[in-house]
């Protein structure tokens, strides 16, 4: 009687462990799919792939411009902010080009090097832009990314999804997938050993 209870408990434990392993594998597949349709397209679409050093030439803060957070947004999503323009000398080609913060900055407003997030406090936005401008004036050279194919003549300060960031995004689903597969393999080994023990 006790042996039957132990066997039943063991089978229940194996079933739960197997469900856990299958659930981890399924979740990792969903994470892979989500990363594949969100992050990977942005990474492959970016043409600014080569890193170099840019020398700061001019830093200007022009009058306020209007910016919309997204295309087709409502009027309340449009807000004014000072337009920061940073011109640099691309050491790879010697050209004078405009520096943007990220790829998204160029899409949101090609006239400005920096586009702040929507903020109700215009003083904070102004102070942040002035701080960024003073940092550019202080550090005459900055690392930047440019397009080696020259389809884009401008440069960006940092990529939204660099190779390291893409690898880090794939790290967690890979660990979950490996853990799930390991649990399934261990359950199958346990079942195989139980069958051999019962046969003996």
For residue range 63-76, what is the model confidence (pLDDT) as tens digits? 766 554 444 444 44
Span of 51-60, 119-128, 166-175 with lowest mean pLDDT: 119-128
Each residue's pLDDT tens digit, 27-65 = 999 999 998 888 888 888 888 888 888 999 989 888 766
Each residue's pLDDT tens digit, 142-161 = 899 988 887 788 899 988 88
Kindly state whether residue 33 falls inside one of the protein's structural domains: no
* pLDDT higher than threshold 70 for residue 77: no
Q: How many alpha carbons fall within 13 Å on the CB side of residue 38?
A: 8
Domain count, the chain: 2
Confidence band for 198, pLDDT divided at 50, 70 and 90:
low
Q: Are residues 72 and 171 in the same domain?
A: no
Q: Are residues 177 and 137 in the same domain?
A: no
Average pLDDT over residues 172-191: 90
d(CA 156, CA 51): 10
pLDDT for 73: 44
Kindly state whether residue 13 falls inside one of the protein's structural domains: no
Q: Are 106 and 158 in contact (CB under 8 A)?
A: no
pLDDT for 119: 60
d(CA 166, CA 188): 33
Range of the domain at 71: 50-161
Q: Are residues 106 and 81 in the same domain?
A: yes
Q: Are residues 116 and 169 in the same domain?
A: no
Look up the pTM and report it.
0.67
What 74-82 contacts at long range (C-beta under 8 Å, 24+ apart), as own/partner pairs, is 77/118, 79/118, 79/119, 80/122, 81/115, 81/116, 81/122, 81/125, 81/126, 81/129, 82/125, 82/126, 82/129
Kindly state whether residue 8 falls inside one of the protein's structural domains: no
**101: phi then psi, degrees, rounded to nearest 5:** -65, -55
Q: Is 87 helix (H, G, I), strand (E, B) or coil?
A: strand
Q: How far is CA 20 from CA 4, 34, 120, 149, in A?
A: 24, 21, 46, 48
Each residue's pLDDT tens digit, 87-122 = 998 876 678 899 999 988 888 888 889 888 776 577
87 burial (CB, 10 Å; 0-12 / 13-18 / 19+) is middle
Kindly state whether residue 23 falls inside one of the protein's structural domains: no
Kindly state whether residue 134 falls inside one of the protein's structural domains: yes
């Amino acid at each position: 009687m006790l042996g039957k209870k132990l066997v039943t408990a063991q089978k229940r434990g194996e079933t739960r462990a197997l469900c856990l392993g299958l659930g981890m594998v399924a979740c990792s597949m969903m994470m892979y799919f989500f990363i594949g349709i969100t992050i990977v397209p942005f990474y492959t679409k970016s043409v600014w792939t080569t890193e170099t050093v840019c020398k700061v030439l001019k830093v200007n803060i022009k009058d306020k411009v209007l910016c919309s957070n997204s295309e087709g947004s409502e009027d309340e999503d449009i807000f004014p902010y000072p337009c920061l323009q940073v011109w640099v000398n691309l050491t790879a080609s010697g050209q004078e080009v405009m520096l943007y913060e990220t790829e998204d900055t160029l899409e949101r407003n090609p006239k400005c090097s920096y586009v702040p997030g929507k903020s109700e406090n215009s003083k904070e936005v102004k102070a942040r832009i002035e701080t960024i401008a003073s940092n550019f004036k202080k550090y005459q050279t900055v690392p930047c990314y440019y397009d080696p194919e020259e389809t884009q003549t401008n440069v960006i300060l940092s990529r939204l999804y660099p190779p390291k960031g893409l690898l880090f995004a794939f790290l967690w689903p890979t660990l979950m997938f490996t853990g799930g597969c390991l649990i399934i393999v261990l359950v199958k080994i346990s079942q195989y050993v139980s069958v051999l023990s019962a046969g003996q």
